[in-house]
Chain A
Amino acid sequence: MAIELVKERYNGQINTVLIGGESSRSCVRIGGETCLPFLFDEGKMPCPPVVAYEVLDCRPRDWTEHLIEPYGDVIDDPVKWAKMCVDAFGAQVLCVRLASMHPDYDDGDISRSLDILRKIADKAGVPLIVVGSGDDERDNDIMPKVSQALKGENCLLGLATQANYKTLTATCLADGHSIIADSPIDINIAKQVNILISDMGFDDKRIVMHPTTTSLGYGMEYVYSIMERARLAAFAGDKLLSMPFIVFVGQETWRTKEAREYGKTQGINWEITTAVSLIQAGANLIVMRHSDAANSVKRYINLLTPNQ
Protein backbone atom coordinates (compact mmCIF):
# COMPACT_ATOMS: atom_id res chain seq x y z
CA MET A 1 0.00 0.00 0.00
CA ALA A 2 1.33 3.39 -0.96
CA ILE A 3 2.18 5.64 1.94
CA GLU A 4 0.55 9.03 1.73
CA LEU A 5 2.83 11.76 3.01
CA VAL A 6 1.29 14.24 5.39
CA LYS A 7 1.35 17.74 3.90
CA GLU A 8 1.31 20.73 6.19
CA ARG A 9 -0.50 23.91 5.20
CA TYR A 10 0.25 27.21 6.86
CA ASN A 11 -1.48 30.56 6.86
CA GLY A 12 1.57 32.72 7.54
CA GLN A 13 4.24 33.96 5.17
CA ILE A 14 7.80 35.19 5.60
CA ASN A 15 8.19 38.87 4.71
CA THR A 16 9.88 39.71 1.44
CA VAL A 17 12.79 42.12 1.79
CA LEU A 18 14.24 43.93 -1.21
CA ILE A 19 17.89 44.97 -1.16
CA GLY A 20 19.51 47.22 -3.74
CA GLY A 21 19.12 50.79 -4.92
CA GLU A 22 20.34 53.48 -7.28
CA SER A 23 23.74 51.99 -8.17
CA SER A 24 22.63 48.36 -8.33
CA ARG A 25 22.25 46.88 -11.78
CA SER A 26 19.77 44.45 -10.23
CA CYS A 27 18.15 44.15 -6.82
CA VAL A 28 17.66 40.97 -4.82
CA ARG A 29 14.61 39.80 -2.96
CA ILE A 30 14.75 37.44 -0.03
CA GLY A 31 11.95 35.70 1.89
CA GLY A 32 8.33 35.36 0.84
CA GLU A 33 8.06 31.64 1.53
CA THR A 34 4.94 29.94 2.87
CA CYS A 35 6.57 26.59 3.61
CA LEU A 36 9.68 25.11 5.16
CA PRO A 37 12.68 25.15 2.77
CA PHE A 38 12.09 23.53 -0.62
CA LEU A 39 8.88 21.74 0.42
CA PHE A 40 7.15 22.90 -2.74
CA ASP A 41 4.23 20.52 -2.21
CA GLU A 42 3.32 22.43 0.95
CA GLY A 43 3.69 26.03 -0.15
CA LYS A 44 5.64 28.55 -2.16
CA MET A 45 9.24 29.68 -1.96
CA PRO A 46 9.24 32.54 -4.45
CA CYS A 47 12.76 33.74 -3.60
CA PRO A 48 15.37 30.97 -3.36
CA PRO A 49 18.14 31.57 -0.79
CA VAL A 50 20.79 34.02 -1.97
CA VAL A 51 24.55 33.71 -1.44
CA ALA A 52 26.36 36.93 -0.51
CA TYR A 53 30.15 37.17 -0.79
CA GLU A 54 31.95 38.65 2.18
CA VAL A 55 34.48 41.42 1.58
CA LEU A 56 36.43 43.24 4.29
CA ASP A 57 37.40 46.90 4.19
CA CYS A 58 41.04 45.91 4.80
CA ARG A 59 43.32 42.94 4.25
CA PRO A 60 42.00 40.14 6.48
CA ARG A 61 44.39 39.29 9.28
CA ASP A 62 43.14 35.95 10.42
CA TRP A 63 42.06 34.33 7.17
CA THR A 64 43.89 31.13 6.25
CA GLU A 65 45.95 30.79 3.09
CA HIS A 66 43.29 28.62 1.50
CA LEU A 67 40.69 31.26 2.07
CA ILE A 68 42.79 34.07 0.62
CA GLU A 69 44.03 32.03 -2.37
CA PRO A 70 41.06 32.50 -4.75
CA TYR A 71 41.30 36.29 -4.40
CA GLY A 72 45.07 36.55 -4.97
CA ASP A 73 46.49 40.06 -4.91
CA VAL A 74 43.14 41.86 -4.89
CA ILE A 75 42.72 40.89 -1.25
CA ASP A 76 44.71 44.05 -0.46
CA ASP A 77 42.24 46.24 -2.34
CA PRO A 78 38.64 45.95 -1.11
CA VAL A 79 37.20 47.60 -4.22
CA LYS A 80 38.99 45.23 -6.61
CA TRP A 81 38.16 42.34 -4.30
CA ALA A 82 34.47 43.28 -4.45
CA LYS A 83 34.59 43.64 -8.21
CA MET A 84 36.25 40.25 -8.57
CA CYS A 85 33.45 38.63 -6.54
CA VAL A 86 30.94 40.07 -8.98
CA ASP A 87 32.84 39.72 -12.27
CA ALA A 88 34.66 36.43 -11.72
CA PHE A 89 32.38 34.61 -9.28
CA GLY A 90 28.98 36.00 -10.20
CA ALA A 91 28.11 37.52 -6.80
CA GLN A 92 24.57 38.93 -6.73
CA VAL A 93 25.11 40.59 -3.34
CA LEU A 94 28.16 41.65 -1.38
CA CYS A 95 28.54 41.84 2.37
CA VAL A 96 31.13 44.41 3.41
CA ARG A 97 32.41 43.99 6.95
CA LEU A 98 34.04 47.10 8.40
CA ALA A 99 36.71 45.09 10.19
CA SER A 100 39.27 47.87 10.08
CA MET A 101 37.06 50.03 12.26
CA HIS A 102 37.34 47.82 15.35
CA PRO A 103 39.44 49.44 18.09
CA ASP A 104 41.41 46.20 18.51
CA TYR A 105 41.89 45.71 14.78
CA ASP A 106 43.07 48.75 12.88
CA ASP A 107 40.95 51.36 14.63
CA GLY A 108 40.91 52.80 11.13
CA ASP A 109 39.85 56.11 9.67
CA ILE A 110 36.16 56.08 8.78
CA SER A 111 36.62 58.39 5.80
CA ARG A 112 38.80 55.70 4.14
CA SER A 113 36.11 53.04 4.70
CA LEU A 114 33.38 55.35 3.46
CA ASP A 115 35.38 55.98 0.31
CA ILE A 116 35.77 52.21 -0.17
CA LEU A 117 32.07 51.61 0.37
CA ARG A 118 31.06 54.33 -2.07
CA LYS A 119 33.41 52.94 -4.73
CA ILE A 120 32.17 49.39 -4.16
CA ALA A 121 28.58 50.57 -4.54
CA ASP A 122 29.42 52.39 -7.78
CA LYS A 123 31.81 49.89 -9.38
CA ALA A 124 30.49 46.51 -8.25
CA GLY A 125 26.91 47.49 -9.06
CA VAL A 126 25.25 44.94 -6.78
CA PRO A 127 23.19 45.35 -3.60
CA LEU A 128 25.20 45.74 -0.42
CA ILE A 129 25.02 44.42 3.10
CA VAL A 130 27.22 46.40 5.46
CA VAL A 131 28.06 45.24 8.96
CA GLY A 132 29.97 47.26 11.50
CA SER A 133 33.09 46.36 13.43
CA GLY A 134 31.30 44.54 16.25
CA ASP A 135 32.27 47.17 18.82
CA ASP A 136 29.07 48.91 19.96
CA GLU A 137 30.60 52.27 20.74
CA ARG A 138 32.55 52.47 17.48
CA ASP A 139 29.60 51.23 15.44
CA ASN A 140 27.27 53.82 16.93
CA ASP A 141 29.76 56.40 15.73
CA ILE A 142 30.43 55.04 12.24
CA MET A 143 27.18 53.40 11.11
CA PRO A 144 25.23 56.68 10.80
CA LYS A 145 28.01 57.93 8.50
CA VAL A 146 27.90 54.69 6.50
CA SER A 147 24.13 54.93 6.26
CA GLN A 148 24.28 58.49 4.99
CA ALA A 149 27.07 57.76 2.49
CA LEU A 150 24.96 54.96 1.03
CA LYS A 151 21.64 56.82 1.08
CA GLY A 152 19.53 55.74 -1.88
CA GLU A 153 21.28 52.37 -2.15
CA ASN A 154 18.66 50.54 -0.06
CA CYS A 155 21.31 48.51 1.76
CA LEU A 156 20.96 46.03 4.59
CA LEU A 157 22.84 47.37 7.62
CA GLY A 158 23.75 45.64 10.85
CA LEU A 159 23.87 44.61 13.53
CA ALA A 160 21.14 45.88 15.88
CA THR A 161 21.11 44.08 19.22
CA GLN A 162 18.79 44.15 22.22
CA ALA A 163 21.29 46.33 24.08
CA ASN A 164 22.22 48.52 21.13
CA TYR A 165 19.58 49.09 18.49
CA LYS A 166 18.45 52.70 18.69
CA THR A 167 21.21 54.46 16.75
CA LEU A 168 21.21 51.99 13.88
CA THR A 169 17.42 51.86 13.71
CA ALA A 170 17.12 55.64 13.60
CA THR A 171 19.78 55.96 10.94
CA CYS A 172 18.33 53.18 8.75
CA LEU A 173 14.93 54.81 9.11
CA ALA A 174 16.32 58.19 8.05
CA ASP A 175 18.26 56.92 5.04
CA GLY A 176 15.89 54.20 3.81
CA HIS A 177 17.97 51.10 4.54
CA SER A 178 16.84 47.72 5.87
CA ILE A 179 18.24 46.46 9.16
CA ILE A 180 19.71 43.27 10.62
CA ALA A 181 18.26 42.38 14.03
CA ASP A 182 20.75 40.25 15.92
CA SER A 183 20.04 37.79 18.75
CA PRO A 184 22.21 35.22 20.54
CA ILE A 185 20.59 31.90 19.39
CA ASP A 186 17.53 32.81 21.45
CA ILE A 187 14.07 32.98 19.89
CA ASN A 188 12.70 35.08 22.75
CA ILE A 189 15.38 37.73 22.34
CA ALA A 190 15.02 37.56 18.54
CA LYS A 191 11.35 38.47 18.93
CA GLN A 192 12.16 41.15 21.51
CA VAL A 193 14.71 42.86 19.24
CA ASN A 194 12.17 42.85 16.42
CA ILE A 195 9.53 44.48 18.59
CA LEU A 196 12.00 47.05 19.97
CA ILE A 197 13.00 48.05 16.44
CA SER A 198 9.42 48.16 15.18
CA ASP A 199 8.37 50.21 18.23
CA MET A 200 10.63 52.97 16.91
CA GLY A 201 8.38 53.21 13.88
CA PHE A 202 10.58 51.00 11.71
CA ASP A 203 8.67 48.90 9.19
CA ASP A 204 8.94 45.31 10.41
CA LYS A 205 8.92 44.23 6.77
CA ARG A 206 12.37 45.74 6.43
CA ILE A 207 13.95 43.72 9.22
CA VAL A 208 16.17 40.70 8.55
CA MET A 209 16.93 38.45 11.52
CA HIS A 210 20.38 37.22 12.37
CA PRO A 211 19.74 34.37 14.80
CA THR A 212 23.50 33.90 15.47
CA THR A 213 24.45 30.55 14.14
CA THR A 214 27.37 28.19 14.37
CA SER A 215 29.54 25.98 12.27
CA LEU A 216 29.03 22.33 11.54
CA GLY A 217 30.11 20.37 14.61
CA TYR A 218 29.39 23.10 17.14
CA GLY A 219 25.72 22.72 18.02
CA MET A 220 24.06 22.84 14.61
CA GLU A 221 21.05 20.87 15.89
CA TYR A 222 20.30 23.56 18.47
CA VAL A 223 20.59 26.36 15.93
CA TYR A 224 18.39 24.39 13.55
CA SER A 225 15.74 23.93 16.24
CA ILE A 226 15.66 27.65 17.09
CA MET A 227 15.38 28.68 13.44
CA GLU A 228 12.74 26.06 12.74
CA ARG A 229 10.70 27.14 15.77
CA ALA A 230 10.79 30.75 14.62
CA ARG A 231 9.67 29.66 11.16
CA LEU A 232 6.79 27.57 12.48
CA ALA A 233 5.66 30.48 14.67
CA ALA A 234 5.79 32.76 11.61
CA PHE A 235 3.78 30.31 9.52
CA ALA A 236 1.25 30.14 12.37
CA GLY A 237 0.83 33.92 12.02
CA ASP A 238 3.38 35.51 14.38
CA LYS A 239 4.25 38.70 12.50
CA LEU A 240 7.09 39.49 14.88
CA LEU A 241 8.96 36.38 13.78
CA SER A 242 8.10 36.57 10.07
CA MET A 243 11.39 38.13 9.00
CA PRO A 244 13.86 36.44 6.65
CA PHE A 245 17.12 35.10 8.15
CA ILE A 246 20.68 36.18 7.35
CA VAL A 247 23.50 33.84 8.40
CA PHE A 248 27.24 34.51 8.40
CA VAL A 249 28.45 31.11 7.34
CA GLY A 250 31.98 32.13 6.37
CA GLN A 251 32.65 33.83 9.66
CA GLU A 252 31.34 30.86 11.68
CA THR A 253 33.09 28.20 9.62
CA TRP A 254 36.56 29.62 9.18
CA ARG A 255 37.14 30.13 12.88
CA THR A 256 36.95 26.38 13.56
CA LYS A 257 40.05 24.20 13.63
CA GLU A 258 38.25 21.67 11.39
CA ALA A 259 38.07 24.23 8.59
CA ARG A 260 41.44 25.84 9.18
CA GLU A 261 43.81 23.02 9.99
CA TYR A 262 42.96 20.01 7.83
CA GLY A 263 43.63 21.22 4.32
CA LYS A 264 41.84 23.22 1.68
CA THR A 265 39.27 20.58 0.66
CA GLN A 266 38.04 19.98 4.18
CA GLY A 267 37.82 23.72 4.84
CA ILE A 268 35.72 24.29 1.74
CA ASN A 269 33.55 21.27 2.47
CA TRP A 270 33.05 22.51 6.03
CA GLU A 271 31.76 25.84 4.74
CA ILE A 272 29.50 24.12 2.17
CA THR A 273 28.02 21.73 4.71
CA THR A 274 27.44 24.48 7.25
CA ALA A 275 25.71 26.58 4.58
CA VAL A 276 23.39 23.83 3.30
CA SER A 277 22.46 22.88 6.88
CA LEU A 278 21.48 26.46 7.63
CA ILE A 279 19.62 26.75 4.32
CA GLN A 280 17.61 23.70 5.36
CA ALA A 281 16.94 25.44 8.69
CA GLY A 282 15.42 28.36 6.80
CA ALA A 283 18.29 30.76 6.05
CA ASN A 284 17.51 33.22 3.24
CA LEU A 285 20.72 35.21 2.88
CA ILE A 286 23.95 33.24 3.18
CA VAL A 287 27.15 35.24 3.67
CA MET A 288 30.11 33.13 2.54
CA ARG A 289 33.88 33.50 2.20
CA HIS A 290 35.44 30.86 -0.04
CA SER A 291 34.46 31.29 -3.69
CA ASP A 292 34.52 27.51 -4.38
CA ALA A 293 32.24 26.89 -1.40
CA ALA A 294 29.92 29.71 -2.51
CA ASN A 295 29.74 28.23 -6.02
CA SER A 296 28.83 24.80 -4.71
CA VAL A 297 26.12 26.23 -2.49
CA LYS A 298 24.64 28.19 -5.41
CA ARG A 299 24.54 24.96 -7.43
CA TYR A 300 22.85 23.23 -4.50
CA ILE A 301 20.19 25.94 -4.32
CA ASN A 302 19.60 25.74 -8.08
CA LEU A 303 19.35 21.97 -7.93
CA LEU A 304 16.62 22.12 -5.30
CA THR A 305 14.72 24.97 -6.92
CA PRO A 306 12.49 24.08 -9.85
CA ASN A 307 12.68 26.10 -13.08
CA GLN A 308 16.06 27.62 -12.37
Chain B
Amino acid sequence: MIVIGELINGMYKSVTRAITNKDARHIQRLAADQVKSGAAILDLNAGPYSEKPIDDMKWLVETVQGVVSVPLSIDSARIDVMEAAMKIASNRVVINSTNADDDRMAAIFALVKRHGAQVIGVATDKDGVPDSKEKRVELAAKIISKASEFGIPMEDLYLDPIAMPVNVAQGQGVQVMESIRDFRALCEPALNTVMGLSNVSQGAKKHRDLINMTFLAMAMANGLTAVILNPLDQELMDALIAAEIILNKAVYCDSFLDAYRKRR
Protein backbone atom coordinates (compact mmCIF):
# COMPACT_ATOMS: atom_id res chain seq x y z
CA MET B 1 0.00 0.00 0.00
CA ILE B 2 1.39 3.38 -0.99
CA VAL B 3 0.80 5.82 1.86
CA ILE B 4 0.69 9.52 0.96
CA GLY B 5 1.02 11.70 4.07
CA GLU B 6 -1.56 14.48 4.20
CA LEU B 7 -0.42 16.61 7.10
CA ILE B 8 1.46 19.39 5.27
CA ASN B 9 -1.66 21.16 4.16
CA GLY B 10 -2.65 24.79 4.61
CA MET B 11 -6.08 23.62 5.75
CA TYR B 12 -4.37 23.02 9.09
CA LYS B 13 -3.94 26.28 10.97
CA SER B 14 -0.54 25.32 12.34
CA VAL B 15 0.72 24.69 8.79
CA THR B 16 -0.67 28.01 7.53
CA ARG B 17 1.05 29.70 10.46
CA ALA B 18 4.31 27.91 9.70
CA ILE B 19 4.12 28.96 6.04
CA THR B 20 3.40 32.56 6.98
CA ASN B 21 6.22 32.70 9.54
CA LYS B 22 8.56 30.54 7.44
CA ASP B 23 8.83 28.17 10.37
CA ALA B 24 10.83 25.45 8.60
CA ARG B 25 11.27 23.38 11.75
CA HIS B 26 7.53 22.77 12.11
CA ILE B 27 7.18 21.66 8.49
CA GLN B 28 10.32 19.55 8.61
CA ARG B 29 9.17 17.82 11.77
CA LEU B 30 5.84 17.00 10.12
CA ALA B 31 7.68 15.68 7.08
CA ALA B 32 10.12 13.53 9.03
CA ASP B 33 7.43 12.17 11.38
CA GLN B 34 5.18 11.17 8.49
CA VAL B 35 7.98 9.38 6.64
CA LYS B 36 9.05 7.64 9.83
CA SER B 37 5.46 6.48 10.30
CA GLY B 38 5.24 4.91 6.86
CA ALA B 39 4.52 7.65 4.29
CA ALA B 40 6.13 6.83 0.94
CA ILE B 41 5.03 10.13 -0.59
CA LEU B 42 4.27 13.47 1.08
CA ASP B 43 1.41 15.66 -0.09
CA LEU B 44 2.14 19.41 -0.07
CA ASN B 45 -0.67 21.94 -0.15
CA ALA B 46 -0.10 25.62 0.63
CA GLY B 47 -3.77 26.05 1.49
CA PRO B 48 -6.66 28.00 0.01
CA TYR B 49 -5.71 31.26 1.69
CA SER B 50 -2.15 31.45 0.47
CA GLU B 51 -1.50 34.89 -1.01
CA LYS B 52 1.64 33.81 -2.82
CA PRO B 53 0.89 30.20 -3.74
CA ILE B 54 3.92 29.79 -6.03
CA ASP B 55 6.39 31.13 -3.47
CA ASP B 56 4.74 29.20 -0.66
CA MET B 57 4.79 25.92 -2.59
CA LYS B 58 8.43 26.42 -3.56
CA TRP B 59 9.29 27.10 0.05
CA LEU B 60 7.44 23.95 1.13
CA VAL B 61 9.25 21.81 -1.46
CA GLU B 62 12.66 23.14 -0.47
CA THR B 63 11.93 22.90 3.23
CA VAL B 64 10.66 19.32 3.05
CA GLN B 65 13.50 18.20 0.77
CA GLY B 66 15.89 19.42 3.42
CA VAL B 67 14.97 16.51 5.69
CA VAL B 68 13.39 13.71 3.64
CA SER B 69 14.03 12.24 0.22
CA VAL B 70 10.62 10.74 -0.58
CA PRO B 71 8.68 11.85 -3.69
CA LEU B 72 6.32 14.79 -3.18
CA SER B 73 2.70 15.14 -4.21
CA ILE B 74 2.05 18.67 -5.42
CA ASP B 75 -1.48 19.45 -4.33
CA SER B 76 -2.74 22.59 -6.02
CA ALA B 77 -5.46 23.67 -8.38
CA ARG B 78 -3.04 25.99 -10.20
CA ILE B 79 -0.87 24.77 -13.02
CA ASP B 80 1.77 27.48 -12.52
CA VAL B 81 2.16 26.30 -8.90
CA MET B 82 2.60 22.71 -10.06
CA GLU B 83 5.21 23.68 -12.62
CA ALA B 84 7.18 25.84 -10.19
CA ALA B 85 7.31 22.93 -7.73
CA MET B 86 8.33 20.42 -10.39
CA LYS B 87 11.26 22.56 -11.46
CA ILE B 88 12.86 22.46 -8.02
CA ALA B 89 11.82 18.98 -6.86
CA SER B 90 14.74 16.56 -6.52
CA ASN B 91 12.58 13.47 -7.11
CA ARG B 92 9.72 12.69 -9.45
CA VAL B 93 6.58 14.36 -8.22
CA VAL B 94 2.96 13.29 -8.20
CA ILE B 95 0.61 15.95 -9.51
CA ASN B 96 -2.50 16.13 -7.35
CA SER B 97 -4.62 16.37 -9.49
CA THR B 98 -6.58 16.69 -12.69
CA ASN B 99 -10.26 16.01 -13.21
CA ALA B 100 -11.72 14.63 -16.44
CA ASP B 101 -12.33 17.96 -18.15
CA ASP B 102 -10.59 18.05 -21.53
CA ASP B 103 -8.93 21.44 -21.14
CA ARG B 104 -7.55 20.73 -17.71
CA MET B 105 -6.35 17.25 -18.65
CA ALA B 106 -4.61 18.62 -21.75
CA ALA B 107 -2.76 21.27 -19.76
CA ILE B 108 -1.81 18.99 -16.88
CA PHE B 109 -0.87 15.94 -18.94
CA ALA B 110 1.39 18.08 -21.12
CA LEU B 111 3.15 19.28 -17.97
CA VAL B 112 3.33 15.78 -16.50
CA LYS B 113 4.79 14.42 -19.73
CA ARG B 114 7.34 17.22 -19.95
CA HIS B 115 8.62 16.59 -16.42
CA GLY B 116 8.22 12.81 -16.32
CA ALA B 117 5.91 13.11 -13.33
CA GLN B 118 3.11 10.95 -12.00
CA VAL B 119 -0.44 12.22 -11.80
CA ILE B 120 -3.70 11.63 -9.96
CA GLY B 121 -6.81 11.64 -12.16
CA VAL B 122 -9.96 12.33 -10.19
CA ALA B 123 -13.21 10.97 -11.57
CA THR B 124 -15.06 14.29 -11.57
CA ASP B 125 -15.75 16.87 -14.24
CA LYS B 126 -17.41 20.25 -14.68
CA ASP B 127 -20.69 18.68 -13.52
CA GLY B 128 -19.15 17.84 -10.17
CA VAL B 129 -18.89 14.52 -8.36
CA PRO B 130 -20.73 11.68 -10.10
CA ASP B 131 -23.45 9.96 -8.11
CA SER B 132 -23.01 6.58 -9.73
CA LYS B 133 -20.35 4.02 -10.33
CA GLU B 134 -21.11 4.05 -14.06
CA LYS B 135 -20.36 7.75 -14.39
CA ARG B 136 -17.16 7.37 -12.37
CA VAL B 137 -15.97 4.57 -14.65
CA GLU B 138 -16.85 6.62 -17.73
CA LEU B 139 -14.75 9.53 -16.44
CA ALA B 140 -11.89 7.21 -15.46
CA ALA B 141 -11.87 5.75 -18.98
CA LYS B 142 -11.78 9.28 -20.37
CA ILE B 143 -8.77 10.11 -18.17
CA ILE B 144 -6.95 6.93 -19.23
CA SER B 145 -7.60 7.64 -22.88
CA LYS B 146 -6.39 11.22 -22.64
CA ALA B 147 -3.28 10.22 -20.66
CA SER B 148 -2.46 7.63 -23.34
CA GLU B 149 -2.82 10.29 -26.02
CA PHE B 150 -0.12 12.27 -24.21
CA GLY B 151 2.11 9.21 -23.93
CA ILE B 152 1.92 9.00 -20.16
CA PRO B 153 2.85 5.48 -19.01
CA MET B 154 -0.11 3.86 -17.28
CA GLU B 155 1.98 3.04 -14.22
CA ASP B 156 2.32 6.79 -13.65
CA LEU B 157 -1.41 7.37 -13.44
CA TYR B 158 -3.42 7.07 -10.21
CA LEU B 159 -7.23 7.03 -10.46
CA ASP B 160 -9.27 8.55 -7.65
CA PRO B 161 -12.96 7.52 -7.48
CA ILE B 162 -13.51 10.42 -5.04
CA ALA B 163 -14.82 9.35 -1.66
CA MET B 164 -17.73 11.37 -0.28
CA PRO B 165 -18.59 12.12 3.34
CA VAL B 166 -20.75 9.36 4.74
CA ASN B 167 -22.99 11.82 6.59
CA VAL B 168 -24.08 13.63 3.43
CA ALA B 169 -23.81 10.97 0.72
CA GLN B 170 -24.25 7.64 2.40
CA GLY B 171 -25.15 5.82 -0.78
CA GLN B 172 -21.83 6.77 -2.38
CA GLY B 173 -19.80 4.36 -0.24
CA VAL B 174 -20.86 1.33 -2.24
CA GLN B 175 -20.45 3.23 -5.53
CA VAL B 176 -16.88 4.10 -4.56
CA MET B 177 -16.01 0.52 -3.55
CA GLU B 178 -17.36 -0.84 -6.81
CA SER B 179 -15.61 1.90 -8.77
CA ILE B 180 -12.22 0.89 -7.36
CA ARG B 181 -12.85 -2.65 -8.58
CA ASP B 182 -14.01 -1.49 -12.01
CA PHE B 183 -11.16 1.03 -12.41
CA ARG B 184 -8.72 -1.79 -11.93
CA ALA B 185 -10.37 -3.76 -14.72
CA LEU B 186 -9.84 -0.89 -17.20
CA CYS B 187 -6.16 -1.65 -17.80
CA GLU B 188 -3.82 -4.61 -17.74
CA PRO B 189 -1.83 -4.53 -15.52
CA ALA B 190 -4.26 -2.68 -13.27
CA LEU B 191 -3.68 1.01 -12.57
CA ASN B 192 -3.02 2.42 -9.15
CA THR B 193 -6.09 3.72 -7.38
CA VAL B 194 -5.97 6.35 -4.68
CA MET B 195 -8.27 8.37 -2.45
CA GLY B 196 -8.21 11.04 0.19
CA LEU B 197 -9.44 9.07 3.17
CA SER B 198 -10.39 11.74 5.66
CA ASN B 199 -13.04 13.06 3.27
CA VAL B 200 -15.15 10.02 4.14
CA SER B 201 -15.73 11.19 7.70
CA GLN B 202 -15.74 14.92 6.99
CA GLY B 203 -18.46 16.58 9.05
CA ALA B 204 -19.22 13.52 11.16
CA LYS B 205 -19.62 14.56 14.78
CA LYS B 206 -18.40 11.31 16.32
CA HIS B 207 -16.20 8.32 15.55
CA ARG B 208 -14.33 9.87 12.63
CA ASP B 209 -11.37 7.56 13.22
CA LEU B 210 -13.57 4.49 13.15
CA ILE B 211 -15.24 5.56 9.91
CA ASN B 212 -11.88 6.22 8.25
CA MET B 213 -10.37 2.97 9.42
CA THR B 214 -13.31 0.85 8.32
CA PHE B 215 -13.56 2.57 4.97
CA LEU B 216 -9.86 2.09 4.35
CA ALA B 217 -9.97 -1.65 5.07
CA MET B 218 -13.00 -2.06 2.81
CA ALA B 219 -11.41 -0.03 0.02
CA MET B 220 -8.21 -2.08 0.28
CA ALA B 221 -10.25 -5.27 -0.02
CA ASN B 222 -11.68 -3.83 -3.21
CA GLY B 223 -8.22 -3.16 -4.62
CA LEU B 224 -7.19 0.33 -3.48
CA THR B 225 -3.41 0.61 -3.89
CA ALA B 226 -2.63 4.09 -2.55
CA VAL B 227 -4.20 6.37 0.04
CA ILE B 228 -3.83 9.92 1.28
CA LEU B 229 -4.10 9.89 5.07
CA ASN B 230 -2.60 10.90 8.37
CA PRO B 231 0.24 8.41 8.93
CA LEU B 232 0.71 9.62 12.50
CA ASP B 233 -2.64 8.02 13.39
CA GLN B 234 -1.19 4.79 14.70
CA GLU B 235 -4.48 2.92 14.96
CA LEU B 236 -5.27 3.76 11.37
CA MET B 237 -1.85 2.58 10.23
CA ASP B 238 -2.27 -0.59 12.31
CA ALA B 239 -5.56 -1.26 10.49
CA LEU B 240 -3.83 -0.67 7.16
CA ILE B 241 -1.10 -3.15 8.06
CA ALA B 242 -3.62 -5.74 9.30
CA ALA B 243 -5.53 -5.36 6.02
CA GLU B 244 -2.31 -5.89 4.05
CA ILE B 245 -1.70 -9.08 6.03
CA ILE B 246 -5.26 -10.34 5.52
CA LEU B 247 -5.01 -9.60 1.80
CA ASN B 248 -1.72 -11.57 1.71
CA LYS B 249 0.26 -8.55 0.54
CA ALA B 250 2.83 -9.07 3.29
CA VAL B 251 4.04 -12.23 4.99
CA TYR B 252 2.49 -12.73 8.43
CA CYS B 253 4.52 -13.20 11.59
CA ASP B 254 3.45 -12.78 15.21
CA SER B 255 5.04 -9.33 15.38
CA PHE B 256 3.41 -8.36 12.09
CA LEU B 257 2.85 -4.69 12.94
CA ASP B 258 6.44 -4.20 13.97
CA ALA B 259 7.69 -6.31 11.06
CA TYR B 260 5.68 -4.33 8.51
CA ARG B 261 7.06 -1.06 9.82
CA LYS B 262 10.61 -2.41 9.67
CA ARG B 263 10.37 -4.29 6.41
CA ARG B 264 11.40 -1.47 4.10
Residues of chain A at the chain B interface (Cβ within 8 Å): 187-189, 191-192, 195-196, 198-199, 229-230, 233, 237-241
Contacts and interface: CB of A to CB of B under 8 A. Distances in A.
25 contacts: A187-B251, A188-B251, A191-B251, A191-B252, A191-B259, A192-B253, A192-B254, A192-B255, A192-B259, A195-B258, A195-B262, A196-B255, A199-B255, A229-B251, A233-B251, A237-B264, A238-B250, A238-B251, A238-B263, A239-B262, A239-B263, A240-B253, A240-B259, A240-B262, A241-B251
Contact of B252 (A188, A199, A237): A188
Interface residues of B, number: 11
Contacts of B252: 188, 191
Contacts of B259: 191-192, 195, 240
Interface string B104-148: 000000000000000000000000000000000000000000000
Interface of B: 250-255, 258-259, 262-264
Say what secondary structure dominates the interface of chain A.
Answer: helix
Contacts of B263: 237-240
Given A233-B250, A237-B263, A241-B251, 4 more contacts: A188-B254, A191-B253, A191-B259, A239-B262
B41 to A, nearest CB: 16
Contacts of B258: 195, 199
Nearest to A230: B251
Contacts of A192: 253-255, 259
Say what secondary structure dominates the interface of chain B.
Answer: loop
A233 B252 CA distance: 11
Given A195-B258, A195-B259, A240-B259, A189 B264 contact: no
10 closest A-B pairs by beta carbon, nearest first, are A191-B253, A192-B253, A238-B263, A233-B251, A188-B252, A188-B253, A195-B259, A195-B255, A192-B254, A239-B263
Contacts of A198: 262
Nearest to A238: B263
Contacts of A240: 253, 259, 262-263
Nearest to B264: A237
B94 to A, nearest CB: 19
A239 B253 contact: no
Contacts, number: 40
Contacts of B255: 192, 195-196, 199
A239 B251 contact: no
B251 A189 contact: no
Contacts of B262: 195, 198, 239-240
Contact of A195 (B250, B253, B264): B253
A237 B250 CA distance: 10
A195 B261 CA distance: 11
A198 B259 CA distance: 10
Nearest to A187: B251
A230 B255 CA distance: 17
A241 B258 CA distance: 14
Contacts of A199: 255, 258
Contacts of B251: 187-188, 191, 229-230, 233, 238, 241
Nearest to B252: A188
Contacts of B254: 188, 192
A161 to B, nearest CB: 14
Nearest to A241: B251
A187 B248 CA distance: 13
A198 B252 CA distance: 17
A240 B253 CA distance: 10
A61 B18 CA distance: 75
Contacts of A237: 263-264
A169 to B, nearest CB: 15
A200 to B, nearest CB: 13
A190 to B, nearest CB: 8
A189 B250 contact: no
A187 B258 CA distance: 16
A271 to B, nearest CB: 31
